[in-house]
Amino acid sequence: MLENKSVLLFVKSPGKGAVKSRMATTLGETAAQDIYNSFVLDILKTLISSRYPLRIFFYPPDAQEDVANWLGKSFVYMAQRGEDLGARMADAFVQSFSEGLEKVILIGSDIPDLTEAVIDEAFESLQRNDAVIGPASDGGYYLIGFNKGTFLPDIFAGVPWSTGSVFRQTMKVLQEEGCNVHILPEWRDIDTVDDLRSFFMRNKDAGLRTSYTLSAIMRNRVAIANCGWNTESRS
């Protein structure tokens, strides 16, 4: 039954200078914003295809009109609320479970090539596990999910976000709490130009028509070339 499940997608309002700060330092704010927008469109396309109920949690909390004008009026929008990322993630789970949902996964918007198969695996794993987590190659995680009865809000407290120890520390707490955890395949999210190049090399044969992100890379190839990466190179 899909009605007791939901994917929570965390996005930022696409204001210039508000997204992908590490990428913006090398590509410039305009290119970084364009590329981030494409990430969201790609993952949103995958989530729509997967048919799981979707809630888009936006930040900052006063940005609903801007985000709805960008992504469309047909989605359920909810504000991210809390002093830091961990508090905002915990609050999103609390809100969702309080409204009767039983299985919830939360993902970020830096994984434009995430597949439906991974999302399916995440939900299927919650049939027999307390939690599910997807490790990112930089030491963080790109997905986390819980059943209503096994949700641990404290899992998000005191985490050194944007460091290489996020996944390790989160797993330590889950294990200490005696949770059965399903670990998804490792994925590479995109925070830097090197990450973007890796995405391009993995996916360039897919064709521009199937990927907003590949199209955005080509639109911004001049800025990318200024970083020493030629999109025409074979390596």
Whole-prediction pTM value?
0.94
Give residue 226's pLDDT.
Answer: 85
The domain tally of the chain equals: 1
The predicted structure's pLDDT at residue 92:
98
Domain assignment present for 196: no
Range of the domain at 38: 5-191
pLDDT of residue 14: 78
- CATH number of the structural domain spanning residue 58: 3.90.550.10
Residues of the chain with pLDDT under 70: 1, 16-17, 207-209, 233-235
Whole-number pLDDT of residue 147 = 98
Asked whether residue 220 is assigned to any structural domain, the reply reads no
pLDDT, tens digit (0-9, with 9 covering 90-100), for 143-165: 999 999 999 999 999 898 988 99
209 domain-assigned: no
Kindly give the interhelix angle for 29-50 and 116-125, rounded to the nearest 10 degrees: 60
